[in-house]
Amino acid sequence: MISNELYRRGFSTPLLKCIDTHQADYIIREIHEGICGSHSGGRTLAAKVLRVGYYWPTLKGDCAEFVKKCVQCQKHGNIIHASATELHSINSPWPFTLWGIDVLGPFPVAKGQVKFLLVAVDYFTKWIEVEPLACISAANVQKFVWKNLVTRFGIPYAIVSDNGIQFTDKKFNIFLENLGIRHRFTSVEHPQSNGQAEAANKVILAELKKRLGSAKGAWAKELPEVLWAYRCTPQSTTKETPFRLTYGADAMIPVEVGELSFRQQHFHEDSNDSSLRAELDVLDELREKTQVVAEACKQRKTRRFNSNLKPRTFHEGDLVWRATDSARRNSSDGKLAANWDGPFRIRHALHNGAYKLEELSDKIIPRTWNSTHLKTYYS
């Protein structure tokens, strides 16, 4: 006791003044967000309090709790990159029953003023269909689905897409409903939900970059060669080429003509016909084997992905922050824009980490949002 004030003997400082709860709240607030405050973390804040000579029994816990509830710290906190939910693979039981569709671009303007690429990939065979377009509209997407998918491979069971306005268009979805095609949407800003289409985009983009060099405007002209190369390449998940899984035999490629392969040297029309028939007879068996191989590959990837998981689950009524995408940020804020906006309320908890949100005024937020882009709001 010194002058009727209680002090505690410290290790880093000679004496620490013992204070009550009301004084503690003022000290924490002033050091954290006052004139000399730096919105530091809970551990650093506690160290600062001790350094200036104050102490109370719940110092460390109070500092951590205050920082956790600080609105500015929550709003400008780092974006969370670790996945919050387990990886759930999308499986297709048979060729051309499930397609992933996406938009790639913009590219440099090519002949015909095209600068976008509409990409569709079959989840079973990994077969890719593309269409260069000058503009992405619901009408163009509808034409693409009809011409490139339905009339070539039959009516699929479902199509997976993101929430772009060309895919959410009412007329386009009526078109799909009339054909009995189910339309599955991915969570907003979570392209991993349509991973097959995203993977196809990466392949096409990488091949175009390697082929074009400085002639970037010729990308549309190179597309047939890129697609042919892809369709004749065994995929890591299936161990087979998309061409063989589709047609039952491997395509004849230029190298087999330049340097005659066995099937070129010993080609006989009659024996070739019977050989092709035999290939078609075992095509179903090949596809079943491919499905087993692909499923094993997906399970390995799932185990590896889930090993780095940091689960975040929410319940209906919980308040959350939502990661602020660059498209939703105020451009005038520049580098000073907040990383999170909100708070929002969980309206519905769906499956596989998807949630429906609403504002505190009960206004419904469109589409679903994945937990990867959400974090708990503390108050």
Whichever domain contains 106, its CATH number is 3.30.420.10
Ranges of the chain whose pLDDT falls below 70: 1, 3, 12-13, 84-89, 187-195, 213-215, 261-276, 278-282, 305-306, 326-329, 331
Q: Give me the number of domains the chain comprises.
A: 4
Of the candidates 211, 207, 215, 204, which has an alpha carbon nearest to the alpha carbon of residue 116? 204
- pLDDT at residue number 159: 93
Torsion of CA 340, 346, 351, 352, to 10 degrees: 20
Q: What share of the chain is helix, strand, coil (3-state, %, to 5)?
A: 45, 15, 40
Task: Point out the domain boundary residue: 164, 199, 226.
Answer: 226
- pLDDT at residue number 262: 67
Of the candidates 193, 122, 129, which has an alpha carbon nearest to the alpha carbon of residue 163? 193
Same domain, yes or no, for 300 and 328? no
Instruction: Please tell me the distance from the alpha carbon of residue 171 to that of residue 177, in angstroms, as a whole number.
Output: 10
pTM, to two decimals = 0.66
Instruction: Please tell me the distance from the alpha carbon of residue 175 to that of residue 97, in angstroms, as a whole number.
Output: 17
The whole domain housing 351 covers 319-376
Same domain, yes or no, for 146 and 97? yes
Of the candidates 160, 96, 154, which has an alpha carbon nearest to the alpha carbon of residue 128? 96
Task: Point out the domain boundary residue: 226, 252, 284.
Answer: 226
Burial 320-341 (b: 16+ CB within 10 A, else e): bbbbbeeeeeeeeeeeeebebe
- pLDDT at residue number 273: 64
Residue 238 is assigned to a structural domain of this protein: yes
